[in-house]
Amino acid sequence: MWYFTWILGVLLACAFGIINVLWLEAQEALDQESIILDPLTRLPTRVRFLEVLENRIGDYKTDQIPFSVMFISMDAFQKLSEKEDNEHVNNMAMTIAEVIKKNIRLPHDFISRYDAATYTVILPGATANIAKTIAERICENTVEQTKLPTNDSIISIGVAEYPALIGDNIDDSIQEQVTILLEETDKACKNAQKQEKNSCCCANEIILS
């Protein structure tokens, strides 16, 4: 009787251990997402970005001012899978943040650190073309400022204009519009990654072509 109980018991005890540590993982992930400011760059994080984006879309209904969203992906980061600090990588992240801030119109435009490898910018009033110009400038300046010895691509940028991108879906709920907008911008960004190094790509152009 006790032998049988032991088998069950030890498996249960092990499950206990696994569950407790996975619970810790989940809690930590949750914490990461809900922190207000990114500790390194002191920029707002994803939670705040989504808030601002939703507000912008809501505001459009009243003021009809278009805006653009920019995804700036730090390609070098994609190679790393852990979030352990690395001095070199952190320096690069800071440098890129500075470059972006120089090229946009603060505090009118909104910049945030979306995740470890991505910055996002909201440019109220900017059309896709303006956004693209700004993006190209950011790319140039980044190459100047970060003197990488290798020939790898440092950043890739995807832009998208609202409401042009949304098109017919403009009557969808704000959540759904946010989802579409982020998806398309992300696609544009990935497109840019596939192209030549340090390039930018415009989502509206993709849709039109």
Q: At closest approach, how far in Å is the CB of 116 from another protein?
A: 15
Report the helix count and the strand count for the chain, using DSSP H and E: 7, 5
Of 55 and 90, nearer to another protein (C-beta) is 90
* Other beta carbons within 10 Å of 202: 25
Q: Which is nearer to another protein, 81 or 151 (CB)?
A: 81
Cα separation, 60 vs 52, whole angstroms: 12
DSSP structure class, residue 37: B
Cα separations in angstroms, 27 against 11, 95, 151: 24, 31, 39
In the complex, least distance from residue 32 CB atom to another protein, rounded to whole angstroms:
12
Nearer to another protein, 91 or 175 (CB): 91
User: What φ, ψ does residue 153 adopt, rounded to 5°?
Assistant: -75, 135
| CA angle at 28 for the pair 23 and 33, rounded to the nearest 5° | 130
CB of 18 to another protein, least distance (A): 6
Name the minimum Å distance from CB 90 to another protein.
Answer: 11
Asked if 174 and 166 touch (Cβ cutoff 8 Å), the reply is no
- Spatial contact of 53 and 100, defined as CB atoms under 8 Å apart: no
Longest alpha-carbon distance in the chain: 76
Q: Which is nearer to another protein, 23 or 148 (CB)?
A: 23
Query: Least Å distance between CB 13 and another protein?
Result: 4
In a 10 Å sphere around its CB, with 0-12 CB exposed, 13-18 middle and 19+ buried, how is residue 44 labelled? buried
Task: Name the residue nearer to another protein (CB basis): 14 or 35.
Answer: 14
Nearest-approach distance from CB 9 to another protein, in angstroms:
6
Residues that bind another protein (CB under 8 A): 1-3, 5-6, 9-10, 12-14, 16-25, 27, 81-82, 84-85, 87
CB-wise, 28 or 172, nearer to another protein?
A: 28
